[in-house]
C-alpha cells in the first residue's frame, strides 16, 4: 500500500514533466504553476518534476552547448560599470556526451528542500539547448552561490544534487568551476589588448 502511494505522485510528476518538455514556451507557464500547486510541501515530487523536465529537454534537443565565460562584473572595481561578457571556452556536446549528461541526470537524487541559495548570482557557465533550428532554453549556473537560472525551463526548486551533477559534467569537458574569476578576467583582458 505504501509503495503505491509513492508511485502515484512519481508517475504524476513524470507525466507533468513530459508534458512540459513537449509544450511550446508559452504553454509551459500554466503547467509550471500546476506543478507547484500540485505538490506543495512535497519537495521530492517537485525535484523529480524538475529533473524530468531536464531529461525531456536533453532528449528533444538537437545539440547542447556548454560555455565557460566571464560575468559582467568580473575584474570590475567596486561599483564600477559592467563589462561585456567574454567566452573563455565553449563545447558542443557529442551524442555520446549528451547521453552521459542524460544518464547523470537520470541517476541523480531528485530530492529538494528548497533552501534558499546564498550569495550574489554570477553565472560563469551556461548550457544552451537547441532544437528545431532554434534556441529552446538557456540554463545559467553559479557555482559560487549555488543558484541555477533556467530561461525556458521549469521555474521550480531544483534538486539539491543538480549543481553537483552539472559540475561533474562541466569538469568532464575540461572546463573549470573553481578559480579566481576576477584575476582571470583581468589577465584575459590584458592578453586580448596586446
Q: What is the full DSSP assignment across 124-145?
A: -EEEEEEETTEEEEEEEEETTT
pLDDT digits (tens, 9 = 90+) for 172-185: 888 989 888 888 88
CA distance 110 to 52: 9
β-strand partners of 140 = 126, 149
- How confident is the model at residue 182, as a pLDDT? 87
From residue 164, alpha-carbon distances to 9, 121, 151 in Å are 25, 17, 20
CA distance 174 to 126: 14
Across 29-38, 79-88, 140-149, which has the greatest mean pLDDT? 140-149
Amino acid at each position: 500500500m505504501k509503495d503505491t502511494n509513492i508511485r502515484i505522485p512519481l508517475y504524476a510528476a513524470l507525466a507533468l514533466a513530459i508534458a512540459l518538455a513537449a509544450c511550446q514556451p508559452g504553454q509551459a507557464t500554466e503547467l509550471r504553476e500546476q506543478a507547484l500547486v500540485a505538490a506543495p510541501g512535497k519537495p521530492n515530487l517537485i525535484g523529480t518534476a524538475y529533473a524530468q523536465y531536464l531529461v525531456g529537454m536533453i532528449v528533444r534537443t538537437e545539440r547542447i552547448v556548454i560555455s565557460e565565460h566571464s560575468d559582467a562584473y568580473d575584474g570590475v572595481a567596486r561599483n564600477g560599470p559592467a563589462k561585456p561578457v567574454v567566452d573563455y571556452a565553449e563545447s558542443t556536446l557529442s551524442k555520446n556526451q549528451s547521453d552521459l549528461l542524460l544518464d547523470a541526470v537520470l541517476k541523480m537524487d531528485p530530492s529538494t528542500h528548497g533552501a534558499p541559495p546564498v550569495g550574489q548570482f554570477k553565472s560563469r557557465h551556461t548550457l544552451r539547448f537547441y532544437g528545431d533550428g532554434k534556441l529552446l532554453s538557456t540554463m545559467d549556473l553559479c557555482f559560487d552561490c549555488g543558484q541555477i537560472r533556467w530561461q525556458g525551463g521549469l521555474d521550480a526548486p531544483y534538486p539539491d544534487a543538480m549543481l553537483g551533477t552539472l559540475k561533474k559534467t562541466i569538469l568532464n569537458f575540461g572546463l573549470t568551476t573553481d578559480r579566481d574569476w576576477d584575476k582571470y578576467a583581468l589577465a584575459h583582458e590584458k592578453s586580448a589588448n596586446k
